Amino acid sequence: MTLTESAPGYQKLTGHPTALNSSAETSQFWADADRHLIRYGASFSPEIISRAAGSYLFTESGRKILDFTSGQMSAILGHSHPDIVATVQHWIATLDHLFSGMLSRPVVDLARRLAESLPDPLEKVLLLTTGAESNEAALRLAKLVTGKFETVSFSTSWHGMTAGAASATYSSGRYGYGPAAPGNFAIPTPNPYRPDFVTDGVFDWRKQLDHSFALIDAQSVGSLAACIVEPILSSAGIIEPPVGYLTALKTKCRERGMLLILDEAQTGLCRTGDWYAFQKENVVPDILTLSKTLGAGLPLAAVITSAEIEQTAKDRGFLFFTTHVSDPLVAAVGNTVLDVLQRENMVDQVRVKGDYLRAGLLEIQSRHSVVGDVRGRGLLQGVQLVVDRETKVGSDVLGADVTRRCLDLGLHMNVVQLKGMGGTFRIAPALTSTTAELQLGLEILDQAIGEASAAH
């Protein structure tokens, strides 16, 4: 379907024209941004966002944009959810921030409720701010408890930008910053779409895993502390390891006295159609980290582990004393997130909506040869663009063109542009998205792919 200005749902030139700034003010904004902002990654979107509500962003130029990334894959309840707004308004006026050695009811309530949502023995909780910080704390826990220092992660991993998390990140950002923390090793990402070990025409992930740890054993100095992985790799392009992989990985860790850390920054709290992605295979980690989805767009993260691990860490003097550890305001938001997810029976909703989204993406794949693969779970889906389905060669240029055209038509998409990964879209709409919103996003993506691929 081709969207035009007269078509229902066309998003251009809607919003609040009365709030538009002058062209001089807009020009000054971009001049100030260019002069004063440190550029920290991808280029900035050519829009000034003035507000957001539900599944939509609104620009100063009067455009309404459907957000298919939930902000930074975080706003799982949509933007400005009324329950979140009410919670923030109450707690900002009541109890916002405390000395890190003080406790409040929202913090203890959230810790208890997270523990109740998880299988044994996960019951001890540390509340922090970002995914990087939670992974940093998890790695420090693992190193202190095991008395070792070596860490294993996937070759296309992303765990954050703080020192330890960045050292365990291999998808990007390693060049030019000096030595990473010693003892960090990468193992091949188990990618069924681009298999590196094949037996009888099928991805042989067991052989890959055996080979991976043979190499780890050869390089290790006998101090393997932890393996940290995402159950579904996001920055790598929504890659889900085959069923059985995480179970076998945990066995490899056990054999070497390592702790398994699962980073569920993007997959936790109903995003994949389960409360936690690891539940599909029922592989309980030694340490679980949560972030993005827990705060629904606000800075809240958690590290969750067993009482045994926590006690050992305490006995050995575990230190992670940060400015915003156990802050009450964001903990209250976390409790509200759990309230909404439980009240709305969000697991079942996401399964239904995820099936709808996936069916639409598969239909797009059937019409466009440049769509090589559709993968993911629930409302976390990936679309791999390729030059040729046989060779599976990706196209960063095509991905960028489709992204631009989507934005022109009123849809914000996130495409992975990391070298060697090709243009892969990470689709993560709000869990509160309506069927109509999902359909509109599918229609815009379909049109954008068709127009961009025709130009190529």
Please report the sign of the dihedral spanned by the C-alpha atoms of residue 285, residue 235, residue 195, residue 367.
positive
- Of 63, 292, 353, 358, which residue is the catalytic one? 292
Q: Exposed, middle or buried: residue 354 (CB in 10 Å: 0-12, 13-18, 19+)?
A: buried
Catalytic residue chosen out of the listed positions 136, 252, 426, 443: 426
Backbone angles phi, psi at 278, to 5 degrees: -65, -15
* 388 is an active site residue: no
How does 215-225 read in b/e, with b if 16+ C-beta sit within 10 Å? ebeeebeeebb
Choose the catalytic residue: 60, 150, 230, 310.
Answer: 230
419 is catalytic: no
* Given the residues 133, 263, 286, 401, the one annotated as active site: 263
Would you call 446 a catalytic residue per the annotation? no
Any catalytic annotation for residue 230? yes
The count of C-alpha atoms lying within 13 angstroms of the C-alpha of 298, restricted to the half-sphere facing its C-beta, is 23
User: Is 158 one of the annotated active-site residues of the chain?
Assistant: yes
Spot the catalytic one: 266, 365, 384, 417: 266
Q: In terms of C-beta density within 10 A (0-12 exposed, 13-18 middle, 19 or more buried), how is residue 80 classed?
A: middle
Q: Are 224 and 258 in contact (CB under 8 A)?
A: yes
**Of these residues, 11, 67, 136, 158, which one is catalytic?**
158
Within 8 A by CB and 6+ apart from 94, the residues are none
Give how far Cα 24 sits from Cα of 28, 31, 60, 206, 304, Å. Answer: 6, 10, 13, 61, 50
Peptide bond into 121 cis (omega under 30): yes
Q: Is 426 a catalytic residue?
A: yes
Q: Which amino acid is at 397?
A: V
Which active-site residues does the annotation give?
158, 230, 263, 266, 292, 426
